[in-house]
Amino acid sequence: AQKVTQAQTEISVVEKEDVTLDCVYETRDTTYYLFWYKQPPSGELVFLIRRNSFDEQNEISGRYSWNFQKSTSSFNFTITASQVVDSAVYFCALSEAGNAGNMLTFGGGTRLMVKP
Amino acid sequence: DAMVIQNPRYQVTQFGKPVTLSCSQTLNHNVMYWYQQKSSQAPKLLFHYYDKDFNNEADTPDNFQSRRPNTSFCFLDIRSPGLGDAAMYLCATSRGAGDRYTFGSGTRLTVV
């Protein structure tokens, strides 16, 4: 069975600091998809990134970057020069390719607090 | 803009009084999901529809039902809400295997 672990339940940083959110996953499938979602205080989950298991290329989008390493089953998310608006709960999630319904397994989430 | 819309944003219901939450989408996605999220927890899948095929999670209480009358709409019915059902209810859609989810803004349910 699949599992996603976000060991950091809460992180507090000061604005402009860099911060990395960890995500470790377990799956028996060779083809799977990994996601990060952001949930601000308003409650709506916002899609950030999707990665398939065959694409280990790291990605950068503005201040956000993602490091996917199959060897360690990790998909970590780094925010560079954090801002107060980055304060939110961040969820890492996994779906397996054989899963037509595309059900996501979520990690427990990491609450990020960025202080001015 | 194509989107997922949930109504109402906040819902207060009485203990034991049936309540229906609604979700609509303009994305024409095949799959619609209902998640329950309690405070400081990850979203928990209740059920999903792949087109007209209904799929219930094994641990979803019988008190919860869902209807999808057409591609665009999906409803969550709670037959006899208890205090433990107070939560945020999130609707989401996707095109199927491997696709990203698009979430609605959620309905926060309070049971009094």
pLDDT at B42 over 70: yes
User: Which pLDDT belongs to residue A37?
Assistant: 97
Q: Return the pLDDT at A93.
A: 97
Q: Which residues of B touch A (CB under 8 A)?
A: 31, 33, 40-43, 45, 48, 50, 55, 88, 90, 92, 94, 96-106, 108
Q: Give me the helices (H) in A6-114, please.
A: none
**pLDDT mean values, one per 10 residues, chain A (116 residues):** 94 98 95 96 93 89 94 96 97 88 92 97
Q: Do A44 and B106 touch (CB under 8 A)?
A: yes
What pLDDT is stored for residue B1 in this prediction? 67
Cis ω on the peptide bond leading into residue A40 (within 30° of 0)? no
DSSP B100: P
The pLDDT value given to residue A90: 98
* pLDDT given for residue A79 in this prediction: 97
